[in-house]
Structures are given as structure tokens and as C-alpha cells.
Amino acid sequence: MIEHESSIRDTSAGGHPDELLPWYANGTLEGEDRARVESHLAGCDRCRAEVEGLRELRAALKRGEAAEGPGELGRRRLRRTVAQERRRVRPRSLWRPALAAAAALVIAVETGLLVREATGPETYRPLQGAGPAEAVLQVRFAPEATEAQIRALLNEVGAYLVGGPGALGVYRLALEERGPDAVERAASRLRRREAIVREVRRQ
């Protein structure tokens, strides 16, 4: 690649700060660079016009440049790729550490569940700062279910773990899909897998 370093005019001696203007136009210029451009622009019509042109270019690019990715197809492909990768590489310890990372959440859940068990029908609500996604289901898995079985089932149902296990072995699940029907659908699909799932409740 040919880089024409030499052909940029030396602007350090008070010429037009041409090479900085694009980054003034995109709003990322800081410190000395920014001060230099600003003081120059105050007295230079040419550079003000240039900045204006660059802003137009930026706006036009933002309107026309974005492209839509492969979406669901891409997600499925990635899932297959990761599954291959998991077979290739020694399985990582995936269950416990993921939960440990959500420690604050788990504490909230446990507290909530204990309260819930003690007071019967009272509705449990997640404590504030509900974490990355709203849990809609509470699930207890069969003690003999393996991690691989549980993971496959969650992928199949489009559910993911957002908390647990609580003191009573209850995990909280969120769903990829939104809406009340989605929750009911997921719950009944989970219930059908009796070998893996012991109990499903709506949050």
C-alpha cells in the first residue's frame, strides 16, 4: 500500500489543520487538537466549509451505509459453530461460574424465594436492578438431569438462565421471545420434558 505521508501539508506552522477536520466533524477530537481546530475555524471560511461538507458526508453515510445482517440464519449458524467448538475443545465449566458471576442476582432470588415459601401465595417480585433480562419462569430441574440436557432444552425453548439456584434449587429463566403467549408456550414445552424438568412456575 502506498502511503503518501509527505504530501500532507505541514499544518503545524499555522496552515489549515486539514488532517484533523474529519475528526472534528465526527466529534471525537480532544485536547490540543480540538483547541487548535477551533481557534483556526474562527477565522477560516474555507475550513468551516470543509467541516460542513464532512458533516454532510457523515450524515449521508449514516443514512446509507448500514446493512442488515443474516439475522436468525446467522444465529443458528453461530450455534452450530459453537457446538462444534465445544466438542473440539475440552468442555468449559459453564454452569457454576456463569451463576457465580451473577452473585448479586442470586442473593436477591434466594431472599425472594425464601419469603415466597414462608408466606404462601404472595407474589414474588424481583428486587430492583433486575439484571440483564426479566425472568418470567421459575424452574426446578430433575436432580439426575445433566448440564448438557438442560442446556439443549433451554436452547430449544429459547430460554436462558438469569438467576438461581435458589435455596430450594429453583432457577429463574428469561425468554428470547416476548409476550404472554410466549411464556405459556415455553412453560408447557418445558413441562413436557419430565425427565429433565421437575416443576415450572410462572414468575
Partner 1 sequence: MGALRDRSESAPAEHDDGQAATLLAAIADGSEPALERFYRTYEGVVYTFALRRLGEPADAADVLNETMLEVWRGAGRFEQRARVRTWLLGIAHHKILDRMRRRGRRREDELDPAMPDDEAEPAWASIAAAQDAGRLRACLDRLSDAHREVVHLAFFEDLSYPEIARLVGCPEGTVKTRMFHARRALKRCLVEGPEAAPGGGSE
Give contact residues for partner 1 (rule: CB under 8 A).
Answer: 1-5, 7-8, 18-20, 22-23, 25-30, 49-50, 52-54, 56-58, 60-71, 73-75, 77-79, 81-82, 85, 92-94, 97-98, 100-105, 129, 131-133, 151, 154-155, 160-161, 176
Least distance to partner 1 from the beta carbon of 50, Å? Answer: 7
b vs e for 4-31, b when ≥16 Cβ sit within 10 Å of the residue's Cβ?
eeeeeeeeeeeebbeebbbebbeeebee
For residue 123, the minimal CB distance to partner 1 (Å) is 23
Select 15 or 70, whichever has its Cβ closest to partner 1.
Answer: 70
Dist. CA 176–CA 184, nearest whole Å: 13
Rounded least distance, CB 127 to partner 1, Å: 11
**Residue 101: how many other CB atoms lie within 10 Å:** 10
Q: Which is nearer to partner 1, 68 or 181 (CB)?
A: 68
Q: Which is nearer to partner 1, 93 or 123 (CB)?
A: 93
How many DSSP H helices and E strands does the chain contain?
Answer: 8, 4
Distance of closest approach, residue 91 Cβ to partner 1, in angstroms: 8
Other CB atoms within 10 A of residue 136 CB: 20
Give whichever of 14 and 64 is closer to partner 1, judged by the CB atom.
Answer: 64
- What span, in angstroms and rounded, lies between the C-alpha atoms of 12 and 40? 12
* List of residues 6+ apart from 202 with CB closer than 8 A: 136, 137, 138, 183, 187
Query: In this complex, which beta carbon is closest to partner 1, that of residue 100 or of residue 118?
Result: 100
To partner 1, the closest distance from the beta carbon of 107 in angstroms equals: 8
